[in-house]
Chain A
């Protein structure tokens, strides 16, 4: 189920009631949470719970046997077992069709005609997220960064804990397993703030992303042959920048709020990313738990910046290309990741070339704007389903469309631009602070009024129960 659904509201009320019921022991409450998490996942597609179990059991035993192994080769073997099983499942369900299509294309280019049966496999929701979460468990144990979990229940709950299960934040075992070791209950203030965060997340998703921004994006990106001009192309792409942020950060904020209501702490996943100055700054602010995962388990093992310039750039590009592919089985995502890799490499080179440069306030504003614009160029490949589609929008953005048509009506365009400007302005002004800090310094009456208005907007928007974009990843 999804947070922005009536089913979830009922589910969450029951979970909270069970979590705060005085007659359950902490052990029983954890079992309740585990069952609730399986139900949360099974609500999409019950048979896919089996994949969760496979991932849980394999990684639990792989870590157990890893610490019992006396030889390094045996440890490595168990680590590889975990990697192969997890990436194998991910590869089969997420990339099977993509690999097959590319194989057919390559074979065709060599003159070999091959017509395989259709690849009609449903993608299990959130498989990319929980695969990375469980992989971090065995990899941390292998790298001796952490000891295996002391209890199977705590570990199974780490994998399936419903707030982070399907779209992150991608948690590491060391972040969550210790929280299950002792009873946790939120104080009234924590529950209040948790509910406020849940409201903020739902407002971002239901009202901004789905309600106002998605139709503007679809008017151009799903225009079915109509050609957008410069204005429409840029507005739709800006709107998508707002939509993808509100959609994904909305989910993370809701997840953090939900966990907080039960007394659990989850990590920040976004930190005002459109206020970033430069691309390394952007990736420290955007999908933080994924970018740090890729850094720790891919970039650093690939050599990181420890083996000279060429190797550093190669590691950077490799990480970003695979990071792009993580988002979806399509070459457009690879190009999206590749563009970010190029941006990061150029930025790295510029920083080395102009070491003494310290930007003033105007330069920071200019660089933030430039970063935002260049990030928007990459979003074209992220949103467009094909290169041809991306080409149409990019051509429009460059003002090179021969006979463009107006695709976005004035009203929705104005509303979308107000929202996106608001997001960009907020991120820029809050880039050096935190939401909590700003809330603390704001009068209580203002906080209460804003909170009430956001919740009221969510209620009257009603929502259509649209899935979060990142569920598809």
Chain B
């Protein structure tokens, strides 16, 4: 019995380091009990339990539990092959962005609304996608402006109210801060293994972690505090090269789409004072100037948003005071969704980002305009024919419009 162990047994255990059976607390000493002396080999006592059989039981139980969880997560709409985004994945793309012919920065709208395959099919160039959800595109523009290696075309996708936000960078701050760290071997190998596993397991989704799902029972119980219910939940799927696409559960409607719409809060907020606008334009102009000085080019893109949000966005920052002032101040060219006939009345399921199929239509529309604005891109001779709204809007919806 372990409780009958003598002090000499304990001493023997100290010499050997590991002993079977748990030592009584009084006999199990630490460095705290031995002041001012050389510390002996520590004692690790192994509780008397059938550990090999326990380990076998745990392996079987965890396999069953995880299988059940995987089944449940697939039932919830998660898919294997949705490889998730991460600061490490962004860092990988950002490193490639330094020497890219075309790189994209911006917030979630350009991230969702650009189909990289379509871009490549039209131009022969696959852009490097370095936009980040919930991030001020201006900070990313400045990030490239500070990169002496970048001499390509930078597409800056923006939602006006995010771009002209005077304070903070948003989620992208942490991505940029950890850029160096995320290029280290430990992070890079972790990214490879993670991607490989996500090809097979649907439950591996950063929006469906235990600690995120559990607090969602709180639907704003404490007045004034930011409830987890108010957060943006999963709305996207991610594939290779950080290709984002609208999650089909959001496209198909129901509770999750309603929640996503609710989470935007209508993009309501205060109006932007002229001083802030002038400051943002000045900083943007400086960033554009630095990129151009190295031989690079910058083109702004404003993807569409649904009328439910657009009304508030325009109220806070009308196009003439925001978008037009930005292009004038930076002497840069830009493509506004309003000016693309093929991009009108597309499907925007949760009001802020295009549906998967409409993102391809929008990409087709803006790339065809892009090649007219810059000689850095050319339409391939074998480019596919243009797409139109009919290619992505379900017939029933199209007929109602």
Beta-carbon contact of B54 and A192 below 8 Å: yes
Proximity bits, A34-45, B CB within 8 Å = 1, else 0: 000000001111
Q: CB < 8 Å: which of A215, A437, A462 contacts B206? A: A462
The answer on a CB contact under 8 Å between A288 and B30 is yes
Please, how many angstroms separate the alpha-carbon atoms of A406 and B39 in the complex?
49
0/1 per residue, B181-210, Cβ < 8 Å to A?
000111101100110010000011110011
A411 touches B221 (CB 8 A): yes
| Most chain B CB atoms below 10 A, which of A1, A189, A288, A296 | A189
Q: Which residues 30-73 in B have Cβ within 8 Å of A in the complex?
A: 30-32, 34-55, 57-58, 61-62, 65-66, 69
Determine which of A188, A192, A211, A264 lies in contact with B211 in the assembled complex, contact meaning CB atoms within 8 Å: A211
Chain B residues near A43 (CB-CB < 8 A): 184-186, 189
> Do B46 and A6 touch (CB < 8 A)?
no
A168 CB to closest chain B CB, in angstroms?
A: 12
Say yes or no for B381: interface residue by CB 8 A criterion. Answer: no
- Distance between Cα atoms of A447 and B32 in the complex (Å): 29
Contact B37 A145 (CB under 8 A): yes
* Chain A residue with Cβ nearest B33: A284
Closest to B226 in A: A409
Q: Are A175 and B41 in contact (CB under 8 A)?
A: yes
Given A42-B185, A172-B38, A452–B209 Cβ distance below 8 Å?
A: no
Residues of A within 8 A of B220 (CB): 409
B18 and A266 within 8 A (CB): no
CB under 8 Å from chain A, chain B span 244-262: none
Residue of B nearest to A11 (CB): B189
Task: Evaluate contact between A192 and B52: CB separation under 8 angstroms.
Answer: yes
Residues of chain A within 8 A of B53, CB atoms compared: 444
Chain B residues contacting A411 (CB-CB under 8 Å) are 214-218, 221, 227-228
In-complex Cβ contact of B227 among A196, A263, A296, A409 (8 A)? A409
Interface assignment of B2: CB less than 8 Å from any CB of chain A = yes
Q: Which of A51-59, A329-337, A372-380, A428-436 contacts B (4 or more CB under 8 A)?
A: A428-436
Q: Is the CB of B225 within 8 A of A408?
A: yes
A-side contacts of B225, CB under 8 Å = 406-410
Q: Complex: how many Å from CA A40 to CA B40?
A: 27
Q: Out of B24, B39, B203, which one reaches A174, CB within 8 Å?
A: B39
Q: What's the Cα separation between A437 and B220 when bound, in Å?
A: 43
Given contacts A190-B18, A271-B30, A440-B47, is CB(A451)–CB(B39) below 8 Å? no
Kindly state the separation between the CA atoms of A283 and B190 in the bound complex, as whole angstroms. Answer: 36
CA distance A407 to B227 in the complex (A): 9
CB distance from B215 to the nearest CB of A (A): 4
Scoring B17, B205, B220, B227 by chain A CB atoms within 10 A of each residue's CB, the highest score goes to: B17
Whether the Cβ atoms of A188 and B52 lie closer than 8 Å is yes
A456–B35 CA distance with the chains assembled, in angstroms: 41
Cα of A260 to Cα of B44 in the assembled complex, Å: 8
Q: Does A427 count as interface, using CB distance less than 8 angstroms?
A: no
* B35, B41, B205, B211, most chain A CB atoms within 10 A: B211
Q: Interface size on A (CB < 8 Å)? A: 88
The residue that A440 contacts in the complex, of B21, B69, B224, with Cβ under 8 A, is B21
A265 and B41 contact, Cβ closer than 8 Å, known pairs A10-B193, A292-B32, A412-B215: yes
A190 to B39, CA, bound (A): 23
B23 at interface by CB-CB < 8 Å: yes
Contact flags A445-473 to B (C-beta < 8 A → 1, else 0): 00111011001110111101100000000
Q: How far is the CA of A344 from the CA of B349 in the complex (A)?
A: 62
Q: Which of B28, B52, B62, B187 contacts A456 (CB 8 A)?
A: B62
Given A5-B190, A211-B209, A462-B209, also A174-B18 (CB < 8 A): no
**A405: B residues at CB distance < 8 A:** 224
CA distance A210 to B212 in the complex (A): 11
Q: Give the residues in chain B near A29, CB-CB below 8 Å.
A: none
Asked if A288 and B31 sit within 8 Å, CB to CB, the answer is yes
Complex CA–CA separation, A447 to B49 (angstroms): 9
Residues in B5-23 with C-beta less than 8 Å from chain A? 17-18, 20-23
A283 to B31, CA, bound (A): 11
Q: Are B215 and A193 in contact (CB under 8 A)?
A: no
In the bound complex, residues from chain B placing their C-beta under 8 Å from that of A192 are 49, 51-52, 54-55
- B32, B45, B193, B211: the one within 8 Å of A461 (CB): B211
Interface residues of B in 316-365 (CB under 8 A from A): none
Chain B residues lying within 8 Å of A219, measured Cβ to Cβ, are 226
Task: Determine whether B223 belongs to the interface, using a CB cutoff of 8 Å to chain A.
Answer: yes
Asked, given contacts A266-B44, A267-B31, A444-B54, whether A464 binds B62 with beta carbons under 8 Å apart, the answer is no
Set of chain A residues within 8 Å of B37, measured between Cβ atoms = 145, 296
B189 neighbours in A (Cβ, 8 Å): 1, 7, 10, 43
A268 contacts across to B, CB distance below 8 A: 28, 30, 42
- The reply to whether B46 and A452 contact each other, CB–CB distance below 8 Å, is no
Give 25 A-B contacts (CB < 8 Å), ordered by A residue.
A5-B186, A6-B193, A43-B184, A43-B185, A188-B52, A189-B46, A256-B44, A260-B44, A265-B18, A284-B32, A291-B32, A292-B39, A296-B31, A300-B36, A409-B228, A410-B225, A411-B218, A434-B45, A437-B23, A444-B49, A455-B62, A456-B61, A459-B69, A461-B211, A462-B209
Task: Give chain A's interface residues, CB within 8 Å of chain B.
Answer: 1-2, 5-7, 10, 42-46, 122, 140, 145-146, 172, 174-176, 178-179, 186, 188-193, 195-196, 207, 210-212, 215, 219, 256, 260, 263-268, 271, 283-285, 288-289, 291-293, 295-296, 300, 405-413, 415, 432-434, 436-437, 439-440, 444, 447-449, 451-452, 455-457, 459-462, 464-465
Known contacts A190-B18, A409-B228, A434-B28; can you find 6 more A-B pairs with CB under 8 A? A6-B190, A44-B184, A122-B180, A285-B32, A406-B223, A464-B206
Chain B: residues with CB nearer than 8 A to chain A?
2, 17-18, 20-25, 28, 30-32, 34-55, 57-58, 61-62, 65-66, 69, 86, 180, 184-187, 189-190, 193-194, 197, 203-206, 209-211, 214-218, 220-228
